[in-house]
Amino acid sequence: MGKFQQDAAKLLELVGGKENVAAITHCVTRMRFVLNDPSIADVAKIEKLPSVKGTFTQAGQFQVIIGNQVADFYDDFVAVSGISGISKAELKSQAKQNQTFLQRLMSDLAEIFAPLIPAIITGGLILGFRNVIDSMYILENGTKTICDVFPFWATVDNFLWLLGEAIFHMLPVGICWSVAKKKGTTEILGIILGLTLVSGQLLNAYAVASATEETWAAYTWDFGFAQVHKIGYQAQVIPAILAAFALVYLEKFFKKIVPQVLQMILVPFCSLLLAVMAAHFILGPIGWFLGDIVAKVVLAGITGPVKALFGAIFGFVYAPLVITGLHHMTNAIDMQLIQATGGTMLWPMIALSNIAQGSAVLGMIRLQKKNAARQEVNIPACISCYLGVTEPAIFGVNMKYNFPFLCGMTGSAIAGCLSVLMGCTANAIGVGGLPGILSMQAPSWLKYAFCMLLAVVIPFVLTMIIGKRKGTDVEAEREALEEAAEAEAAAAAEEVKAANAGKPVDLVAFLSGTTVNIENVPDQVFASKALGEGMAIDPTDDCLVAPADGTVSVTMDESNHAVGLTLDNGVEILLHIGLDTVGMNGDGFECFVKMGEHVKAGQKLIKFDPAKIRAAGHPLVTMLVITDDGGMSDFHFTEGTSVAAGRDTIAEIR
């Protein structure tokens, strides 16, 4: 009987029994559940169990913090419950059953933008700073900017645009790459697709709204039977995402129907060509059609009899417009209003939306004050937002948690409505966020300052209230507890290693199949023992397991075709599935462990698809190589023997 069976049985009861558990797995310190009905779980009683250090729910998963002995707890839970565990990837997929469509959509968008956040934050700070020096008329009685007066700062402004343009105008390149990476398709094709959306051969997206017939004459493809405008998609999000997913599904489709011998030639050519055509002939024009509709609705609303209601609606939806890229269409409306009436009531609402999203981030800064890692994103995102650039806040913080985004939209709606009712009018556009008040006409300053105050207070208060109800304010403590548990696990692993250093160990089969002398492996690097002594197995199953107790020291994040272990006696080994399988980029491989995790002999490490490996033309023979003998000198490996994974001994290390 395992030492955790009593707690495991009680935990099973408190989560609602076996029938309420849709899926289960574990990581380094936590049990991860997908519950059919999360409300059934008795959190208060679960957290009182002796083995439990805390609980929380995230991304549809109910997670129970156990600590460094979670693997033993997990084994006892599986034994008590009779529930088979699944991989983390499968659990993550099943966890989406507890999310609404909007939550799933937001989650997918967050995953796409997660790798881009450092660049977006950098760009946000740069553009915010440029707003201050090149768009704020604060010198010589409000007639000139810093750049107008000081040549040095004009040069700095020009130089910084090199970075700003690369980050925001070329954003579709990063989006297409990120989608391709997330979906496991060829990343360089995603990059090329993104480049075709922002090519210098196309009319810049910012110039589309003011384009004339003469302009279009120079920017049109004439195929004879059809004419297509050469439109660029600088800073556009939705067209880039749609184009990238078109590429993903086209590539997967052609991989299924094209013979292996022709895939290198036909799959990239056909999928990329058709994706670019779809982007420019179908998906892009749809985006611009929607943009035209938005522009007409905005113009009618801001000048019509229901402009107060329109102010509330526009304030609420402007942030989502930023996500789609359709917000660029409002610039033309602003300019038209300025030319016709001497000012615009639209731009003030845009600046208020900037402030509101920044204030929602300010709420997250307060809620996550003990989480240093989150503050590295929160603080610069808030600063750039208050300077008029919202993308870092929207993509890096607010959409990640959903509720701050909605809180910002709500505050923007209220402030926007009052702004229109009070007739707040701007002389010009370009300065957003808190500095936006400097673009206002003098009679509007006090009224607009009140609207700004609302845009700060309402999102901040709403974010704090909802965040506390959701437990976001204690998330930092939970993560600190998890980090402490992981540190405890690492320390325990070091203690085990020190206690067992130099002790003999027997290795069990890491796969079922036939053992092979490593010198007979058809790869010179392994066969020559350049990497070290070892052996191989010609497998008959599809799941690599640990040959002995140890700690995961090497993982292949992209390809998942190999894993390194440091055994408890200090010996380091490498397990490599197939030959040249790194070129498969993870297709057909699924890793169950991560760096620093302690594993037991026979524990699942990597599941692979033998059919895909064979179809790619790679031998399945799988190697075990001793990369560091840990002071051991006597190795004995079996050869030509049929073995069962996790049971039969294949090597003795003395």
Per-residue pLDDT, 68:
60
Query: Is the model's pLDDT at 645 over the cut of 90?
Result: yes
Q: Do 149 and 235 fall within a single domain?
A: yes
Burial of 124 (0-12, 13-18, 19+ CB in 10 A): buried
Q: Distance between CA atoms of 244 and 125, rounded to whole angstroms?
A: 27
Please state whether the predicted TM-score (pTM) of the whole model is above 0.85: no
pLDDT bin (cut points 50, 70, 90) of residue 468 is: confident
In a domain, 489, yes or no: no
pLDDT tens digits for range 221-273: 999 888 999 999 887 777 888 899 999 999 999 988 998 888 888 999 999 99
Q: Distance between CA atoms of 343 and 427, rounded to whole angstroms?
A: 5
Q: Of the candidates 452, 470, 488, which is a domain's last residue?
A: 470
In a domain, 507, yes or no: yes
Burial of 420 (0-12, 13-18, 19+ CB in 10 A): buried
Q: Do 450 and 537 fall within a single domain?
A: no
Rg of the Cα atoms in the chain = 29
The region, left, alpha or beta by phi > 0 then psi within -120 to 50, assigned to residue 538 is: beta
Q: Do 465 and 580 fall within a single domain?
A: no
**Sheet of 543-545, strand order:** 543-545, 604-608, 589-591
Q: How far is CA 60 from the centre of its chain?
A: 16
Amino acid at 160: L
In a domain, 559, yes or no: yes
Per-residue pLDDT, 98:
55
Amino acid at 31: M
Residue 80: CATH number of its domain = 3.30.1360.60
Q: Do 416 and 564 fall within a single domain?
A: no
Q: Do 266 and 322 fall within a single domain?
A: yes
In a domain, 482, yes or no: no
Q: Per the structure, how many domains does the chain have?
A: 3
In a domain, 481, yes or no: no
Least confidently predicted of 48-62, 289-303, 515-529: 289-303
Q: Do 192 and 341 fall within a single domain?
A: yes
Q: Do 286 and 204 fall within a single domain?
A: yes
In a domain, 27, yes or no: yes
Query: Is the model's pLDDT at 116 over the cut of 90?
Result: no
Q: Do 376 and 397 fall within a single domain?
A: yes
The fraction of the chain above a pLDDT of 70, given in percent, is: 85
Q: Which residues neighbour 420 within 8 Å (Cβ) at sequence distance 6 or greater?
A: 302, 307, 308, 310, 311, 345, 349
Q: Of the candidates 449, 470, 491, which is a domain's last residue?
A: 470
Q: Do 60 and 143 fall within a single domain?
A: no
Q: Of the candidates 99, 132, 155, which is a domain's last residue?
A: 99
pLDDT bin (cut points 50, 70, 90) of residue 54 is: confident
Q: Distance between CA atoms of 113 and 638, rounded to whole angstroms?
A: 49
- Which of these is catalytic: 27, 382, 385, 451? 27
Residue 412 near residue 352 (C-beta atoms within 8 A): yes
Concerning whether 27 is annotated as a catalytic residue, the answer is yes
Amino acid at 275: A
pLDDT tens digits for range 22-41: 888 776 567 888 888 888 99
Per-residue pLDDT, 115:
80
Question: What spatial distance separates the first Cα and last Cα of the chain, rounded to whole Å?
Answer: 31
Residue 629: CATH number of its domain = 2.70.70.10
Q: Do 289 and 413 fall within a single domain?
A: yes
In a domain, 494, yes or no: no
Residue count of the chain, please give it.
654
Q: Do 53 and 75 fall within a single domain?
A: yes
Segments forming the whole domain that contains residue 80: 5-99
Query: Is the model's pLDDT at 335 over the cut of 60?
Result: no
Q: Do 570 and 603 fall within a single domain?
A: yes
In a domain, 479, yes or no: no
